[in-house]
Chain A
Amino acid sequence: MKTKIVFLLFFVVIGIAATAFRTSNDWLFVVPRGWQKPAYNFQQNPLHKQKIELGRALFYDPLLSKNGMVSCASCHSQYSAFTHGDHALSHGIHDSIGTRNAPALMNLAWQRVFMRDGAINHLDMQALAPISNPAEMGESITHVVAKMQATILYPRLFAAAFGDSVITGERTLKAIAQFMLILVSSNAKYDSVTRKQAVFSEQERKGYVLFKKHCSTCHTEPFFTNHQFMNNGLPVDSTIRDLGRFGVTQNPDDSLKFAVPTLRNIEFSYPYMHDGRFKRLPDVLNHYTAIGLQNRTKSHTLAKELQTPIALSSNDKVDLTAFLLTLTDRGFLFNPAFSFPRNIVFETAKD
């Protein structure tokens, strides 16, 4: 009898422990109500608090760059919706200037391909691109691993995350992916209205109607992107000559197409467009109302929704802007779990 009770107790304890672990993982990433299932396969990289913390350390550590000066956060700062605030094009090591505007980072678990042209096929592999780009971090993942092995900090963080202190490229990339996965923005005023916890002002409501009429085909709710590649009629910058998705597929039908960006937190993600050519929201709206009026901006890949200019009065633009500002999620922009890890002292990289 006693043995049976001990056995039962054993299974109860194991059961509670297993549930707690699952609950704890569920807590680390919550699918907002009404949102679809994420594209990311969490079973291949189950979230773990210490792995996320490792990924967070890696995100903020300039050790990832060749000269120890540039971190992921240098071009993706939290307060500007993880973009490079106020920079049309970002600067990497040795003041090198890149060719594209740093995209906002949020809700990446629902995204299947990454970068403005979709060149990266998996969130795990995304970090390799900025680490290796000579105009960004100019480093190699192989050397990053070697540098981390020579620190006191990282063997400890890897051991806490993975159970032993072995540092590999796979573990490094998966940890960075875990940090990026938890960057979920779903608590803007818009979301509160959707959940019937708040109401739009009259101006915001009018703006929402205009948004649904003119913008939502591409900037589809709830992500405010359809995760597609579109040509929105921007003339080619003659100094960069960026043809977007064409560079990846070599398909002429993809010429001048770029990933449709999310509009969440757009108040803080300026400047706008793939090359950051527009500094302010009115510039963006003016582009969409003038598009196609000049033949030089028309190309055969121009989105069909934009073949004729969008008609918006001055008042409409003000209303639409009021709605766009309801996409600001201050809980996301100032979430301490996403900010610089103040409990960690980064060591100077030994090159």
Chain B
Amino acid sequence: MNCRAVFGQQSPVNASTIRLSIIPTFGAKSIVIRDSAFQAKDARNTQIDMLKFYISRIQFLHKGAVVLEEAQSFHLIDAAREVSFHLAVQNKRGVRFDAVRFHLGIDSATSVFGAMGGDLDPTRGMYWTWQSGYINFKCEGKSNACTARNNEFQFHLGGYKQPFDCLQTLTFPISVSDTITIQFDVERFLSKIDMAKHHHFMSPSADAVRLSAQAAESFRIVH
């Protein structure tokens, strides 16, 4: 089960292609992690060392019904790789749609499928080893608000089995357009965490489920 969008490559865009961009931001500012971490100029002196998450099962809807669904739809969005922000979904039939829907994370069927390639290859660093399952969302960095050693926080969210199924489904209404931009605001996500109490989540748990919902609420459509 290989991904259509191979990691590090961008599919060609043509008239029948929907361009969907998922942009990590800190507030209004785009996050790009290159040779060094992203440094925010906020009161907490927040630093983002790593921000990676899976977007999967991208669907387009018209009046609530699915009219287009991407095949083999698994994408790892990595703040350290700008090329991963931009997805291209083929719309050969030119269907009209008024909403886009996708998962944040990897579904349970895929989680028990065995070894897979592309963005799902375990070498991407998004697969737990001591207990099977994909890490849906990883955010690591530093904040003055964090009371852990070196002010470091690590949030690895995942879990595909009840009662700790962390998969989130997001739906955004859109005016008919072939270019869609959605932002993930990490400042909004972190602002909901009391880092005096919580500095790291590393396994499926009720907290991981709660934070996954908070991560989902930190997405917003720009246009």
Contact = CB atoms under 8 A, between A and B. Distances in A.
A121 B122 contact: no
A125 B115 contact: yes
Secondary structure of the A contact surface, majority rule: helix
A124 interface: yes
B206 to A, nearest CB: 9
A45 B117 CA distance: 13
A121 B132 contact: yes
Contacts, number: 70
Chain B interface: which size bin? 20 to 34
B112 A173 contact: no
B129 interface: yes
A123 B131 contact: no
A169 B115 contact: yes
A119 B130 contact: yes
Contacts of A174: 114-115
Interface stretch (A126-134, A228-236, A253-261, A321-329): A126-134
Contact of A169 (B113, B114, B123): B123
Contacts of B129: 128-129, 131-133, 141
B176 interface: no
Contact of B132 (A45, A119, A169, A250): A119
B116 interface: yes
A123 B112 CA distance: 10
B205 to A, nearest CB: 8
A169 B130 contact: no
A142 B122 CA distance: 8
Contact of B117 (A120, A168, A177): A168
Interface string B193-205: 0000000000001
13 contacts: A41-B114, A44-B113, A128-B127, A140-B125, A142-B122, A168-B123, A169-B117, A169-B122, A169-B123, A170-B117, A170-B120, A170-B121, A248-B131
Interface of A: 41, 44-45, 119-125, 128-129, 131-133, 140-142, 145, 168-171, 173-174, 177, 248, 250
